[in-house]
Structure 1
Amino acid sequence: MNRHDGKFLLLTPEYPPDKGGVAEYLYSLVQHFPGEVRIARGPFFWKWFWPQWLCGVFTAWRVVREARPHMVWISHILPMGYIALAIKCFTRTPYVVFTHGLDVCLPEESKWKRWWMRYILKHAVLIAANSEFTAGILHTHGVQEKRIHILYPGGQMFEDAAQSGRAPTPTLIEKLRGKKIILSVGRLISRKGQLRALAALALFLKDNQDVHYVIIGDGSEAEAITRLIKEKKIKSSVTLLRSVQNSELSLWYSVATLFLLPTVSHAPDVEGFGLVFVEAGLHGVPVIGGKGAGVDEVVRDGVNGLLIDGESEDTILGAVTRLLSDGSLRRRLGGQGRTRAQTVFNVKENVAQFADRIYTLLPPPPFHRSPEDAIRQALVSVIIPAYNHKKELLHTLDTLRAQTYGSLEIIVVDDGSKDDTQAALAEEHNKWQNRRSFKYIRTEHEGAPAARNAGIKNARGTLVIFWDADITAEPEMIEKMVYTLKENPSAAFVYSSFYFGWKKFMCGPFDAERLKQTNYITTTSLLRREFFPGFDQSLARFQDWDVWLTIAERGGTGVWIPEALFRVKPRGGAGMSVWLPSFVYDFSLLTNWKRVKDYQEARARVMTKHHLV
């Protein structure tokens, strides 16, 4: 798919005009991403109904049906991950999770939430981490490195203001002209450390009237900061601004002498990154940060700032006085900070790299064949096992007669049916034109795998497709599959998306590693006959998964057509007609249910056979 052609849906409760690092992070992503990104901000939660996030499923469902995105993005693992899972289950729309330190640490406090977090991450097509620190936590939850993309936040929204050189004009800034300004920006909570910084600097500010401390932010410690200013009698040396627009915030960065945020990180409350350090760097301001967690990635001690123990008031005071007294050190750290912010944390370049990866995960463009294309008429053997499905079988044969591909061999294998299937098919020979052939084979009742193997023994085609009696196909289905194999000569087979009743199975691009975890390829796929290993008749379930794994182990690959080319009609009895969402089989409380138990035992047999356990 070409860049700019993708359609994406971002489900998030935090986005401007909301304040905070997550909102700014997502805003910068959307502004620079090459493609259509629609924002859905809710409502995601009910106030009086449990589970509250169920509201978000209905909201997301309506938006997905309207927007028809290629991919869904979510900004919080919990609870937004529940919504993404539901949408994937019903629409097969893949999702990406954007994670940050606190987001992945909070579920650690609950075994239930930890299980769901891992399940949500397991089924995401990609996980974006805001730092190496966050990625490290994801590793501990079993997420493979290749499924993580580190997308650093960036302060690009301040870059123009930082480089414009405009003199600040607000009255308060004018009044502070000539003073050395210590600046703190962030939510007023214990982890950020503004209250500790104020306590450490109180006496110093009293004795140094040429220094002024500006604190910008709001939060639970706002009242305690206000009380401390009053108790220490330093009102003339400290300014607390609880609400500031981004344009004014940029002016405060531009006049700051140094930036101070003595963060501390104690799991699960951690500083996963620290966007404000990047913003300060863009303005050439040296920084002082509390070492630990994600801050260490942004602030390099002695390069663009100083890393300190954020819990030690003596260390805080020592770092501040050191920078205030050494102008050459400030200039060196500030200059290197600007360079680092404009390169390592350049949001435009980082988002471009992220976009490159996202577009590789999207399906290729839909099949298109110009009238000039001539399809080589290789014989395709269509093998249909049937057991007591006379009505469905006659309907699917009508579907096959409507196929635009001309060179077909139809082989119906009657697996010992007890209805009048044989009599019903007696007239079928007369309905097929000479360019097609029709065979009827009757066997003892041994099950679909044995019937399919019997069919292929009697097949003449170089290409084979296993068809079920309850399938209704698009007229161009086989032609599109043959054409796709022709265009991909190294591929062993081709498969497509499909519908089972109302539910769409997207399947997705071929991925051998993903195939080792779950079977996402339908039995109704077109194969080059030389690659087909035969169905293992000893397996009660997952025979098709066994086939695809065997082909992959022998070096074969598949190609996905991102169109729903056929529909399976639900019917009574075994098979897909009793399909359940995959998470049901992973739910530990249901392991004693016979269907779940049989599923897990059969899955274990296949995994053991292919050395996946």
Structure 2
Amino acid sequence: MKISVIITIYNEEKHIEKCLSSLKEQSFKNFEVIVIDDGSTDKTREVLAEFKTKDNNSLKLKILKKDHQGPAKARNLAVTKSKGDILVFLDGDMFFDKDFLKQLISPIEKGKAKGTFSTEEYVANWNNCWARAWNYNWNLPDKRRINPQNINQAKDFRAILKKEFDKVGGFEDIGYTDTWTLSEKLKYKPQATKAKYYHFNPSSLKEIFNQSKWVAKRKYKLGGLGKGIALLRANPIFSLISGLKTALIKKEPGFLVFKLVYDFGLSLGLLEKKKHA
């Protein structure tokens, strides 16, 4: 089966080269890579062009560019340019163990699953205090981006048969939780694998602020009421109390600052009308 690896990026000048370099080292070799730049404003495009020149097409790399409209539309567009029977969706701030692709797609190739994800997603920058704070805020285990005890709740497909993707028309453009929409429309969840990879958490207050604005732009179960509750929880008094409590429990003084910045960004994201951060 042919494999298409699709990487949607927005302002990933710091990480995209490491991401692509780790794909070059995969034990599984028969795949194409489609990187779609969703309107980056940093030097991402220059980094990509330089990598492609040095790579000399050994990675079968295709680069697409579009205006900034969010990852759902970018992924859907990239799929229309793909040739694979299996689609693999990755982010530009990830890098991968050499057997990652092999383990991720194995259940699909063997006919045991229509789609997969991995429980073995680790924080790439755990030595950074803001990266650790991100995990604490989401109640995640140390150094992990996914709680292995919650695998039955996983909705994100890392790999899926293209015919299944096409059956439901791809991702819905609903904001932060757009990756859940495949599972919701297909009425089944991806199968867990042990494919190991690393993902960078936000590592500066600026990145935390920007990412929290994006987190706010999602579909809420209770609609407007749900947004109102989220906005109430993000008010400065709650942020101060929650931030101080977690900072003391985790012995991470910087968490208080993190929480104030995160919740401020969340509040602005909730109040903004535009879909994309």
Show the 5 A alignment for 1:226-241. Answer: none
Query: What letter matches 2:95 in structure 1?
Result: T
Instruction: Indicate which of 178, 187, 195 corresponds to 1:543.
Output: 178
User: For the residues of structure 1 that align with 2:65 and 2:2, how far apart are their CA atoms?
Assistant: 23
Structure 1's 543 and 600: CA in aligned 2 closer, same or farther, altered over 3 A? same
Q: CA deviation at 1:486?
A: 2.5
Indicate conservation of the 8 Å contact 2:213/2:270, yes or no: no
Aligned AA (1:491)? A
Give the aligned partner of residue 244 of structure 2: none
Counterpart of 1:559, as a letter, is Q
Q: Percent identity?
A: 21
- 2:101, 2:211 → 1: CA distance? 23
Which is greater in Rg? 1
2:75 alignment counterpart: 452
3-state SS, counterpart of residue 411 of structure 1: strand
Closer/same/farther in 2, CA of residues 388 and 441 from structure 1, 3 Å limit: same
Secondary structure in 1 matching 2:72: helix
Deviation of 1:478 after TM superposition, in Å, equals 0.3
Please state whether the residue corresponding to 1:427 is helix, strand or coil: helix
Deviation per CA, 1:541-562, whole angstroms, max 9, x where unpaired? 211111111122xxx552111x
Say which structure, 1 or 2, has more relative contact order (CA 8 Å, 6+ apart): 2
Matched ranges for 1:77-96 at <5 A: none
Rounded to whole Å, the distance in 1 between the matches of 2:60 and 2:185 is 30
The CA deviation at 1:507 is: 4.7
Residue deviations 1:220-275, cap 9 Å, x none? xxxxxxxxxxxxxxxxxxxxxxxxxxxxxxxxxxxxxxxxxxxxxxxxxxxxxxxx
8 Å CA contact retained: 2:100, 2:196:
yes
**Aligned letter for 1:548?**
S
| Partner deviation per Cα, 1:375-418 (whole Å, 9 max, x = no partner) | xxx32111111111112111111111111110121111111112
Distance 2:212 2:186 in 1: 23
Q: Which runs of 5+ in 2 are unaligned?
A: 127-142, 216-220, 235-262, 272-277
Counterpart Cα distance in 2 of 1:419 and 1:564: 31
Task: Report the Cα distance in structure 2 between the residues aligned to 1:484 and 1:575, rounded to whole angstroms.
Answer: 33
**What whole-Å deviation, never above 9, does each CA across 1:183-227 have from its counterpart, x for those lacking one?**
xxxxxxxxxxxxxxxxxxxxxxxxxxxxxxxxxxxxxxxxxxxxx
1:441 maps to which residue?
A: 64
Could you tell me how far apart the structure 1 residues matched to 2:267 and 2:50 are? 43
* Structure 2 partner of 1:416: 39
1:413/1:455 contact within 8 Å kept:
yes
**Per-residue CA shift, 1:537-582, capped at 9, x if unaligned?**
2x12211111111122xxx552111x36111111214448998xxx
- Specify the code of the residue in structure 1 equivalent to 2:180: W
Structure-1 residue corresponding to 2:161: 528
- Tell me the SS of whatever aligns to 2:191: strand
- Aligned with residue 232 of structure 2, among 576, 589, 592: 592
Question: What is the RMSD computed on CA atoms of the aligned residues?
Answer: 3.4
Q: Which residue in the other structure is 2:241 paired with?
A: none
Segments of 5+ residues of structure 1 without an aligned counterpart are 1-377, 580-584, 602-613
**CA apart distance, 1:491:** 1.8
**Pick from 499, 503, 508: which aligns with 2:144?**
503
TM-score w.r.t. length of structure 2: 0.63
* CA separation of 1:462 and 1:508: change in aligned 2, threshold 3 A: farther
Q: Describe the superposition over 1:81-110 as per-residue Cα deviations: whole angstroms up to 9, x where unpaired.
A: xxxxxxxxxxxxxxxxxxxxxxxxxxxxxx
Look up the equivalent residue of 1:592 and give its one-letter code: L
Tell whether 2:135 aligns with 1:494. no
TM-score, normalization by structure 1: 0.30
Q: Is the CA contact (8 Å cut-off) linking 1:485 and 1:491 kept in structure 2?
A: yes
Partner of 2:101: 478
Contact 1:382 1:410 in 2 (8 A): yes
Q: Distance in 2 between matches of 1:577 and 1:597?
A: 7
Q: Contact 2:155–2:189 (CA<8 Å) still a contact in 1?
A: no
Decide whether the 8 Å contact of 1:536 with 1:543 is kept in 2.
Answer: yes
Q: What secondary structure does 1:505 align onto? A: coil
